[in-house]
Structure 1
Amino acid sequence: MELDPTEMTSVINRIKRARGQLDGVLRMLEEGRECEDVVTQLAAVSKALDRAGFAIVATGLQQCLTAGDGLEGMDVKKMEKLFLSLA
């Protein structure tokens, strides 16, 4: 299943923001910032990436269901594996 780039605009933006946050985490580490501040920012990056992953899987699932194939055309094991890879 290929993802429509026009439907991925918000996901792309979320990942770009996460990349910026991750750069910030690296700077914080290099500057010797407080552990709590670093971990808080790292958790924010992780959550942003998780949400982007779930959005990608959800979009792919929606495309499978609306493509006319319905559930019969969907590889359930493959979708399950995608969901579990984000857990």
Structure 2
Amino acid sequence: MDNNGSEEKCMKECCCCERKKERTADEYKKLINRLNRIEGQIRGIKGMIEKDAYCTDILVQSAAVSAAMNAFNRELLANHIRTCVAEDIRKGNDEVIDDLVATLQKLMK
């Protein structure tokens, strides 16, 4: 498949390709700060591996990263429900409920 075909497929299947969400400066700052902390934790784990750290020490840090990502997802999901989903429902777009269910199923894998 050529690039145009894959781009077309992405536009049809990927919600992030066609929809956008304007965030307040505060929302943006909070999300970016969380991601920066997580990025730092990942770099720390990489450093631990490079320094031959003990397996369980690395696993503990890895679990902390997983917990941080879960917290990020919870915050983003809650904001999504309060804003995007609620607004679409008020506009009569009940299709957003199916989208939310699909998103929740992906998050719970």
TM norm structure 1: 0.82
Which consecutive residues of structure 1, in runs of 5 or more, have no partner in the other structure? none
RMSD, matched Cα:
2.1
The share of aligned pairs that are identical, in percent, is 24
- 4+ long deviations beyond 6 Å: none
The superposition leaves residues 43-80 of structure 1 with CA deviations (integer Å, 9 ceiling, x where unpaired) of: 11111112111211111110032x37438435112112
Question: Match for 1:40 among 45, 60, 68?
Answer: 60
Contact 1:25–1:38 at 8 Å: present in 2 too?
yes
Q: Which moved more, 1:3-12 or 1:54-63?
A: 3-12
Q: Distance in 1 between matches of 2:63 and 2:22?
A: 27
Q: For the structure 1 residues 85 and 58, does the alpha-carbon distance in structure 2 shift closer, same or farther, using more than 3 Å as the test?
A: same
Structure index of larger Rg? 2
Query: 2:100 aligned with 1:79, yes or no?
Result: yes
Query: 2:50 aligned with 1:30, yes or no?
Result: yes
Equivalent residue pairs, number: 86
Q: Distance in 2 between matches of 1:36 and 1:71?
A: 51
Question: Match for 1:4 among 23, 33, 56?
Answer: 23
Once the two structures are TM-superposed, the CA of residue 28 in structure 1 deviates from its matched residue by 0.4
Which consecutive residues of structure 2, in runs of 5 or more, have no partner in the other structure? 1-19
